[in-house]
Amino acid sequence: MSRAKSVHHVNIQTTNRERTKEWYEKVFGAEAVERGSRRQLQVHFGTWEIHFSETSNPIHAPLVHFAVEIDDWNEMLAHLDQLGMTYGKTVGPGRAGSFRERMGGDDPRQGRRESDGSHYAYLQDPDLRGWRDGFQAVYVIATGVQTGFFDQLAAHPQGLTAQELAQRTACHVPYVAIWCGSAYRYQLLDAVNGRYVLAPHADSLLAGRAHPDSQAVLFLNAVREAGPRLARQADYMHSGAVGSHAEAYGTNPTRLDPPPNQEALQRRLWQDEMRPCVLALDEALHNGGRVLDVGCGPGLMLLQLAASYPNATFVGVDVVEVGGLETARRLIRERGFDDRIHLECVPAEQMTYAEAFDGVLITRVFHEIPVASRVGLFRACYRALKRPGVLLNLDFAYPDTLAEFREPLFWSGVDNQYREMSWGTVHPTWQEQQQMLTAAGFAAIERHFVRHIPQGTHYLAVANKL
């Protein structure tokens, strides 16, 4: 009888091809190969292989695992230690009193088989610790922005020692040395001739940079505002209490005194993303048209539009004064646009404009509008538009299906929903939004994905009053 000789391959599922490839290469030194017309991911281990089937909806079977033989056990453990991997005698911490917990000796990091004395240990892919490390990296970055460490390092391309960096920023030398070590560990810094230099990709973190891709504000907001709120999420889970966006705007430095990159971002949003979808509106604005910005906040979009279209007039509405309309009023006065931009403090769903505007913009506002008022808001926008007129609604892209929760296109929406849940944020799915727009009378509704925003992918709804 012909007998099976050895395993050729096993086929298992993966939801993330790139992460899987990276993990097997890093941990086992295996060779990743992409085969066939469908570019199947295969990982080769000498005489046997693992083939991966990609799916967003894997079958979850308990205790699924496979085992690999290791030539040099101690060397492998040292390698795992060096990678910072967690491994152990059981999968995870091990349930107290379970048979796996009782077997294999006392060392929690590895077990020993009674039958032949060989060692074993369990590894999990992915390793949850990566999330914790990323969390801490956010704080290291924010501290570097706040103290001016990144700016100083950018100003000294030949590099600085921790001591020099501390002197230039009036900071405590031993702490700065610890920060430098951490920033080096996260590859935010490199080292040249014993001095720290900025890693090339850290450029986008430089505080005060006017570039729309500057990410500094994201990290500052994460630690100043989102972090403390996220830490209370467990309380909110119990209470279901709803906090207030408005209060948070009133103390947010970005809303009180917007950094230049925020304006640059609005300019790019209009020029590169919105304008090409609404060329008739662009034409109307050149010829003295009128636009309404719903939830205009500090008015940055209005300022950009007023500068780009000197013949056009604008109205901005919002409900927040401090960190909103107050800032907008000041900036409009400073730029000399008082005669062309009018502001009003009114809940958008209560606006009474009729046939007054060529275009209505709603940017990153809709998720803040109470669910019960949303169709009413779209109706008020429809009424406010001339015929023909166009509505542009830009907001975080939020998934319609469970599978989309794992698609990177929707992660900024999923993350924003979690971060702002205790402010009453409810992100609409695309289908919900489309239904509401239709119910309000809009037609020829299009969806465009907008990717070039540091906060992540948004979708832009373009809806027409024909």
What does the alpha-carbon distance between residue 75 and residue 79 come to, in Å, rounded to a whole number?
A: 6
Residue 153 binds to ligand SAM (criterion: CB under 6 A): no
Contact between 327 and 313 (Cβ < 8 Å): no
Q: How far is the CB of 353 from ligand SAM (least distance, A)?
A: 13
Q: How far is the CB of 452 from ligand SAM (least distance, A)?
A: 15
Among 153, 317, 331, 450, binds ligand SAM (CB under 6 A): 317
Q: At what angle are helices 17-28 and 73-83 packed, to 10 degrees?
A: 130
Residue 179 vs 357, nearer CB to ligand SAM? 357
Residue 324 binds to ligand SAM (criterion: CB under 6 A): yes
Q: Rounded to the nearest 5 degrees, what angle is found at the Cα of 67, between the Cα atoms of 66 and 68? A: 130
If binding means CB under 6 A, how many residues of this protein chain bind ligand SAM? 17
Residue 326 binds to ligand SAM (criterion: CB under 6 A): no
Residue 225 binds to ligand SAM (criterion: CB under 6 A): no
The 8-class DSSP code of residue 176 comes to: H
Residue 159 vs 297, nearer CB to ligand SAM? 297
Nearest alpha-carbon partner for 453 in 409, 405, 389: 409
Site string for ligand SAM, 331-370 (x = CB under 6 A): ----------------xxx-------------xxx--xx-
Give one word for 284, left, alpha or beta, with left for phi > 0 and alpha for psi -120 to 50. Answer: alpha
Residue 319 binds to ligand SAM (criterion: CB under 6 A): yes
177 CB neighbour count, 10 Å cutoff: 16
Residue 381 binds to ligand SAM (criterion: CB under 6 A): no
Residue 148 vs 376, nearer CB to ligand SAM? 376
Residue 227 binds to ligand SAM (criterion: CB under 6 A): no
Residue 27 vs 291, nearer CB to ligand SAM? 291
Footprint (CB under 6 A) of ligand SAM, residues 295-314: 295-297, 300
The 8-class DSSP code of residue 277 comes to: G
Q: Is 328 exposed, middle or buried (0-12, 13-18, 19+ CB in 10 A)?
A: buried
Q: How far is the CB of 413 from ligand SAM (least distance, A)?
A: 13
Q: What six digits make up the tokens of 303?
A: 């300022």
Distance (Å) of CA 259 to CA 137, 321, 354, 394: 23, 19, 35, 21
Please give the residue ranges that form the binding site for ligand SAM (CB under 6 A).
295-297, 300, 317-320, 324, 347-349, 363-365, 368-369
